[in-house]
Structure 1
Amino acid sequence: MNFDLITSKENALFQDIRNLQATGSNGQKARLASGQALLEGIHLVQTWVGDPNLTVLLTSEIGLKNIEISQAVYEHLEICPEAKVLQLDSALWDLLSDLVNAPHIAGLLDLPKSTLTPPQSIATLDGDVVILDRVQDAGNVGSILRAAAASSFTKVIALSGCAHLWSSKVLRAGMGAHRLLDLYEGWTNQQLLSAVTAPLLVATADAEHDLFSLKKDLLHPVAWVMGSEGQGVSEDLLAQSKGVSIPIDPRVESLNVSTAAAVCLFETLRVRRG
């Protein structure tokens, strides 16, 4: 099978793909403007094999010699024959990926409707929600998304100031969790308070309510709020929330935000199963 070839770094499509990898606000603007994100690596591509939103696969002659990569490419084409495959000159691959010894496979994914829906057009968001308040480390954000998916919290709102949920680093840290989640981002505190119907619970070190005493609260839909690594949850959200502390050894100052999120989400799951 013949695939379209890209041999020059000046190729317009190649430049567009590189823009999707940009960090900070430039990358976020590029992804939202194009409505696409870049999936890097075999694991992420395999996660979306068979999904029509995976519209383009990127590989190379070297990549197609890899059994795992060629299997993913041809399996996806069999299920989604409208998908395109672009074969990059192998020399371009180091420019495309910042992963060391990266396998020559990537994909362009159409962003889901929830990501592209303006927050002002969402009147209510019912049920369980995970809320990220200015969590800026991509590894933390991706880990929280993974914990949310694993604990069946399928709605995640990232308030303004968070790492972009569809950046390359967050996607890698999420390990495919994105496919299981409804992701909303760029919301203001007021938009959140207007739309979310579940009571807000904030994980904070000095709260009077102990996580392990919240059985009645956790049996019903809740909105867990996880705050910025340095500043915690904003004051106006704290004022609208119930503070919850995680009991830890007093010799340890605090937990990483992604660890705290996992503890809270899985305690919610444990209570409901019990």
Structure 2
Amino acid sequence: MKIEFITSKDNSLFKEIRQLQATGPKGQKARFTTGQALLEGIHLVQTWVGDPALKFLITSELGLQNPEIAEAVYDHVEICPDTRVYQLDKGLWDLLSDLVNAPQLAGLLDLPENVLNPQKSVATISGDVIILDRIQDAGNVGSILRTAAAAGFTQVIALTGCAHMWSSKVMRAGMGAHRLLDLYEGWSIQQVLSAVTAPLYATTADGELELFHMRKELIHPVAWVMGSEGHGVSADLMAQAKGVSIPIDPRVESLNVSTAAAVCLFETLRVRRA
């Protein structure tokens, strides 16, 4: 296995990694420009071991002394021999603040085509789907993706205004769920209404339906709509959906959006198994 060395913070690949770590529009621009997302840490890299989309591995001398990291690197290179492996000087790892306390391994993953062309028309999305409406917290988005994968919901649409699904923070919170999901982001409400075939159900405090009385509705494909932390589901989307309430203690104002998503998805799963 050939290892290339990076010793300077002026190295172009090192600069690219730093740009991909950026939050908000700056990080999203870097992902679109490079066509790649950053995998940080051993768990995310292990998730994509053997996938040709994982084109670059970045580690350090200390990292390669870790048996788990060495195994992941060698296993991936054996399956995908065109992978380029880079070793960073220890001082450079210290500059990657998000990686300081993690096992010293990262990867650059080629993004799916639909991520790079979010405006490309998708005729229909049939079956179950989750729609994220302007959820801005990366931890919440990543948690919902992880829950979706666990519950067997494989299609997720993020409307414009959501935290970017392939950002470093969302991917860390997703814990590898991205590889199991079909993800669409940057969509408009009109795109959703045109493409999604399942009926829309939106979580809201005053919904006309109560979640635990929806056996008849949940045995069929559904499109769960989860709204932003501060404003809920947008009025235009709510107008096309049926409101669903989750019964909670009246002394509690609301549930965190990722918790609400978990309750809805696993209630759907429970109904179908019953």
After TM superposition, the score normalised by the length of structure 1 is: 0.97
Measured in 1, the distance between the counterparts of 2:111 and 2:254 equals 35
Partner Cα distance (1:90, 1:56) in 2: 18
Deviation at 1:140, TM superposition (A): 0.3
**Unmatched 5+ residue regions in structure 1?**
none
Amino acid at match of 2:40: E
Q: Does 1:233 align with 2:233?
A: yes
Q: CA deviation at 1:115?
A: 2.0
Where does 1:1-274 land on structure 2 (aligned, <5 Å)? 1-274=1-274
Contact conserved, 1:56 with 1:83, CA < 8 A, in 2? yes
Aligned length: 274
Contact 2:114 2:120 in 1 (8 A): no
How far the C-alpha of 1:217 sits from its partner, in A, is 1.0
C-alpha distance in 1, partners of 2:252/2:265?
A: 21
In 2, the alpha carbon distance for the partners of 1:119 and 1:43 equals: 31
Sequence identity (%): 74
Cα deviation, 1:207-251, whole Å, max 9, x if unaligned, reads 121001111111111110000000000000000000000011111
Matched letter for residue 255 of structure 2: L
Instruction: Report if aligned partners of 1:114, 1:182 keep a CA contact under 8 Å in 2.
Output: no
Q: Which moved more, 1:130-139 or 1:30-39?
A: 30-39
* Post-superposition offset of 1:92: 0.4
2 CA distance for matches of 1:48 and 1:2?
Answer: 20
What secondary structure, in the 3-state scheme, does the structure 2 residue paired with 1:264 have? helix
Letter in 2 for 1:249: D
Query: What SS does structure 2 have at the residue aligned with 1:71?
Result: helix
Instruction: Show CA shifts across 1:99-120 (max 9, x none).
Output: 4422110000111233234334
- Between 1:159-168 and 1:99-108, the stretch displaced more is 99-108
CA contact 1:209–1:243 (8 Å) conserved in 2: yes
The one-letter code matched in structure 1 to 2:96 is L
The one-letter amino acid paired with 1:209 is L
| 1:187 aligned partner, one-letter code | W
Q: CA RMSD in A?
A: 1.1
One-letter code of the match for 1:29?
A: K
CA distance in 1 between counterparts of 2:109 and 2:169 reads: 15
Deviation at 1:63, TM superposition (A): 0.6
Ranges in structure 2 where 5+ consecutive residues have no aligned partner: none
CA distance in 1, matches of 2:35, 2:73: 22
- Residue by residue over 1:99-158, the C-alpha shift from the partner in whole angstroms, topping out at 9 and shown as x without a partner, is 442211000011123323433421211111100000000000000000100011100000
